[in-house]
Amino acid sequence: MFPEALSLLLPIHAADQAAASAGVHVILSGGGSAADILRLLGFRKSVLFSAEIAERHGKLAQSLGTIAADFEKTEAVRRKLTGVLLYPLSLLAFTLVLFSMFRTHYIPELQQLAAAVGEEQGNQSAGLLLRLPDLFAALFLAAAAAVIVFLLRIKNRSAGQQAAAVARLPGAGRFFRLYWTYLFARELGSLLHSGISMQEALRYLAAQEHDRWVGCLAEEVRLHIMTGSQLSDAVSREKLFTGDFSLFAAHGEAAGHLGKELILYSEVLSVRIENLLHTLLKFIQPLFFLMIAACIIGAYMAILLPMYNLVHTI
């Protein structure tokens, strides 16, 4: 059914239908997988990861539906983030331009007037207050530089070392632990629920190349399982999973429905991730407005302080 579905969808969605159809035909003729076809069509690695695992447990259509729902949630968050940031960023850029005009026109005139009456202190204070947008811009640039330096430092490390370094990041570490646990629980649960053994399921997750961090976690858990540990014990030893993962795994083991329990837990984590992102969005916009308010107050003070000093001097 997958080739038939592609033949119906490619004419609608492919930018270059002939090239896409030819590429899909080559992959299918060579015995390629659905993940190979999705890679050809430009899908993200997260989609390729789920598609490859779905082919193992035989529920590709259901998994693609889940992927589509997750993608829609991600796009909704992206659109909301764009809407949240568009107005304050535009206002902040306008404030930066306005302050630049103050510094090039207003401050020089005040300097000339202050020099004539022998008052310089108010001028200096005004100049510093009008530097507030520069301060905020410098903070953003410093944060971006810190992220770039961090990525360069971990670039050549192993997947396990990279994951450990990311998990230690303040704030971001919590999000990534949620996301890794969500992916791991969802894909492992789907494999187990379809009847694949624990060892085989973990081997599939460790062997896939689309998400190296999840693959590394799967290999670590598999090594623990090989020593005779239960899944709940194995995941409790891994600091890159959420704290309550082992509790859900233990409940599934006791009930005899581990695969189903992991799938349910992944749905719980999906809600947590969504709530975390919405909380972040609620925090971002007020932060930008606070910065803009500080700049506006600084502008008023930059105007009033020199005037006040000049009046007392005269």
CA distance 187 to 300: 57
Look at the block and give the residue holding tokens 């004539």. 116
Q: Say what angle helices 212-226 and 159-167 make with each other, to 10 degrees.
A: 100
70's tokens: 């997750």
Is residue 50 exposed (0-12), middle (13-18) or buried (19+ Cβ within 10 Å)?
Answer: buried
Look at the block and give the residue holding tokens 């947008």. 133
What pLDDT does residue 150 have? 92
Q: Indicate the CATH number for domain 45-314.
A: 1.20.81.30
* Residue spans in the chain of domains classed CATH 1.20.81.30: 45-314
With a cut of 50, list the residues of the chain below it in pLDDT: none
What pLDDT does residue 181 have? 93
CB of 206 within 8 A of CB of 56? no
CA 103, distance to chain mean position in Å, is 38
CA 209, distance to chain mean position in Å, is 20
Q: Say what angle helices 258-313 and 245-255 make with each other, to 10 degrees.
A: 160
Between vectors from CA 126 to CA 125 and to CA 132, what angle results, nearest 5°?
Answer: 95
Residue among 103, 104, 126 nearest 114 (CA): 126
CA distance 182 to 185: 5
This prediction has a pTM of 0.69
- Give the other-Cβ count within 10 Å of 125's Cβ: 15
What pLDDT does residue 46 have? 65
pLDDT in tens, 191-249: 888 778 888 888 888 888 778 888 889 899 999 888 888 999 999 888 889 888 999 99
Residue 207 C-beta-side C-alpha neighbours within 13 Å: 9
